[in-house]
Structure 1
Amino acid sequence: MKIASLSFCIACLIHIGLFAQSSNTAIRQREFIYEKAPTPECHASTIAETPAGLIASWFGGTYERHPDVGIWVSHHSKTGWTTPVEVATGVQPDGKRLPCWNPVLFQIPNGELLLFYKVGPSPSTWWGMLKRSKDNGNTWSEAERLPDGILGPIKNKPVLLPSGVLLCPTSSEDHNWRVHFELTRDWGKTWEKTAPINDGVTNGAIQPSVLFHKNGELQILCRSQKLGFIQEAWSKDGGKTWSALQKTSLPNPNSGTDAVTLKDGRQVLVYNPTSPVNGKSGPRTPLDVAISNDGKTWKTLAVLENEPGEYSYPAVIQTADGLVHITYTWKRQRVRHVVVDPGKI
């Protein structure tokens, strides 16, 4: 017991050392999007760069699954983040209100800003919704319900392929945890859908993020249900078919991750580097940023959080100036925004 405690303390000291070292070099800015919370709880943030600047979104309400949970947005201006505004709810035609979930923002090049989200009592019964903005997220269209069976990007951002196809990484939880992909060539007006790439029985996975590689291959990194590690798969044909899911060396406590390919070809991953405990979800702290040249071997770029609490469900993008912007859930109370300079390694 003493040896185990000592090992834990040594691990903590190492991690704190990494935090102090990396924080002074890679992290440019750390801030809350809002100080006064508009709702008791929040979760599942997303971030995008528009022609007018950054915009972030998340779901918020009394608590996750509560019918009053809606979709909120805030814009980054010269004076900081604007007061959050609720832009979507789950109110149905009969007046009944259902919870909203997992917003995902995507800026069409020289076009509209898309806001995907889900509505429904639970992840096994929800459906996909979409709103559009022509003015960088200041005003929004009426909500569109996506076709039956189409959920939209489930947590992490879609990616635009060289072919002009918008590839939406998604997953379902109605028959085990299964990963699939949805493709649109006209910004969400018509859709195609792939079959699941896993059966979810022995390798349940959800919430993929897509990475690009110099040889033209695509890679996904997924949240794992039971294996205790992030899972990956590879595609050589633009996301039409995928290899079988395999576990990586990256721990996963059954918590969401996100990743992005940088302009220089390196890969950045934001994740909780912990493992499940006694077969149940593990702690969602610390929260790390890792970087890789090949998507296989990773090293820590920065430690975003290492205190007790929940720091989870990150979203990550690279903006036109080369900086990396990350948002994530801070103790289910607020959304934190961090700016990381990938040139510091």
Structure 2
Amino acid sequence: MNVNFRLLLILFSLSIQQLYAQPTNPAILKKEWIYEKAPFPECHASTIAETPQGLIASWFGGTHERHPDVGIWVSSLTKSGWTTPVEVATGVQPDGKRLPCWNPVLFQRPGGELILFYKVGPSPSTWWGLLKRSKDNGKTWSEAERLPEGILGPIKNKPVLLSSGVLLCPTSSEDHNWRVHFEQTSDWGKTWQKTAPINDGITDGAIQPSILFHPNGQLQVLCRSQKVGYILESWSKDNGKTWSALEKTSLPNPNSGTDAVTLKDGRQVLVYNPTTTNNGKNGPRTPLDVAISDDGKNWKTLAVLENEPGEYSYPAVIQSTDGLVHITYTWKRNRVRHVVLDPNKKS
């Protein structure tokens, strides 16, 4: 084959690859891996926050979910890209026994420290809550602080800071059915209060709520459902002290985690798998969509992040100070993907 012709074929092939690698939805500004390689085969349950020095992400990683070697890993976004993942928490016990870590949740205290919530234990029905603090934007961390008995901290999705100064943590338990409750702290995790579960979990099993703000001081939560096949919602008119009964939304849910955030302009953004359960069994965790709403009731698709076979799940979503939306999620259990969206651009 002529050398020049072969070179043209190679250049054409590379051009096609680059074309298909670029996001085609104008709302999607960037898609990237937080890491290409890591010293662990599996990962899950990412979280993302914005520090004064930029974005930071965390997730649990190890041999596989529930394996004793699963720890909490972090990576920060710098001018040269995401830093090499570093393990910052393990489940090593005083007697040397190691237990798996679960579901990290990052929260940047305004004008203060970065807080990392996470869980340790053999399973979600027996785990307990811990936190670590960083005064240098995630470079170094304090020793682990175990939360009081019965307090788990935010279970998957980020807490929200109320105007009263209360940090309201959306959480849930799996020891007696799947039940949603809320925990709050007014001193950044030193002392805690909690509500009773808002559901009995018998027919309305739900976990992993995310909190949204609405006019007139109302709060809304969107929850993962166990068997209903749709995202469940509840509303509060008293800053999270009491909540309405869980009700089914129009949003499908295959028994998979979701996350949502209220934008600065009052709109709501949700990241979820728009499929249902199959006769009570877990449905596929693909596609992974981003939806947007003016009122938390009526939703329209803003972007499709993934739609190929595989698992694309457990999203985390925030809005950064520049108004852009940042999403992280599990990509086939072996990598974490970061997506940047402009919520003002239509698909």
Q: What is the CA distance between 1:153 and its match in structure 2?
A: 0.1
Secondary structure, aligned partner of 2:216: coil
Once residues 25 and 178 of structure 2 are traced to their aligned partners in structure 1, the CA distance between those partners, rounded to angstroms, is 39
Query: Which stretch has the larger CA shift, 317-326 or 272-281?
Result: 272-281
Q: Are residues 1:189 and 2:190 paired?
A: yes
Counterpart for residue 122 of structure 1: 123
Conserved in 1, the CA contact under 8 Å of 2:25 and 2:303? no
For 1:1-345, what aligned pairs fall within 5 Å after superposition? 23-345=24-346
Secondary structure, aligned partner of 2:141: coil
Which entry has the higher C-alpha Rg, 1 or 2?
Answer: 2
Structure 2: tracts of 5 or more residues without a match: 1-20
Once residues 36 and 223 of structure 1 are traced to their aligned partners in structure 2, the CA distance between those partners, rounded to angstroms, is 30
Once residues 42 and 298 of structure 2 are traced to their aligned partners in structure 1, the CA distance between those partners, rounded to angstroms, is 36
Q: What is the CA distance between 1:145 and its match in structure 2?
A: 0.4
Conserved in 2, the CA contact under 8 Å of 1:23 and 1:303? no
Q: What is the CA distance between 1:24 and its match in structure 2?
A: 2.4
Secondary structure, aligned partner of 1:66: coil
Q: What is the CA distance between 1:96 and its match in structure 2?
A: 0.1
Secondary structure, aligned partner of 2:344: helix
Counterpart for residue 4 of structure 1: none
Once residues 165 and 30 of structure 1 are traced to their aligned partners in structure 2, the CA distance between those partners, rounded to angstroms, is 34
Conserved in 1, the CA contact under 8 Å of 2:183 and 2:194? yes
Deviating beyond 2 angstroms after TM superposition, the runs of 4 or more aligned structure 1 residues are none
Q: What is the CA distance between 1:277 and its match in structure 2?
A: 1.5
Secondary structure, aligned partner of 1:170: strand
> How high is the sequence identity, in percent, across the aligned residues?
85
Q: What is the CA distance between 1:38 and its match in structure 2?
A: 2.5
Once residues 52 and 309 of structure 1 are traced to their aligned partners in structure 2, the CA distance between those partners, rounded to angstroms, is 34
Secondary structure, aligned partner of 1:92: coil
Q: What is the CA distance between 1:226 and its match in structure 2?
A: 0.3
Q: What is the CA distance between 1:85 and its match in structure 2?
A: 0.2
Q: TM-score of the superposition, structure 1-length normalised? A: 0.93
**How many pairs were matched up?**
327
Conserved in 2, the CA contact under 8 Å of 1:259 and 1:316? yes
Q: What is the CA distance between 1:123 and its match in structure 2?
A: 0.1
Deviation by residue 1:61-97 (Cα, 9 ceiling, x = unmatched): 0000000000000000001100000000000000000
Q: What is the CA distance between 1:216 and its match in structure 2?
A: 1.2
Q: What is the CA distance between 1:279 and its match in structure 2?
A: 1.7
Once residues 279 and 225 of structure 1 are traced to their aligned partners in structure 2, the CA distance between those partners, rounded to angstroms, is 8
Q: TM-score of the superposition, structure 2-length normalised? A: 0.93
Structure 1: tracts of 5 or more residues without a match: 1-19
Secondary structure, aligned partner of 1:215: helix
Q: What is the CA distance between 1:182 and its match in structure 2?
A: 0.2
Counterpart for residue 15 of structure 1: none
Aligned alpha-carbon RMSD (Å): 1.3
Q: Which amino acid aligns with 2:193?
A: E
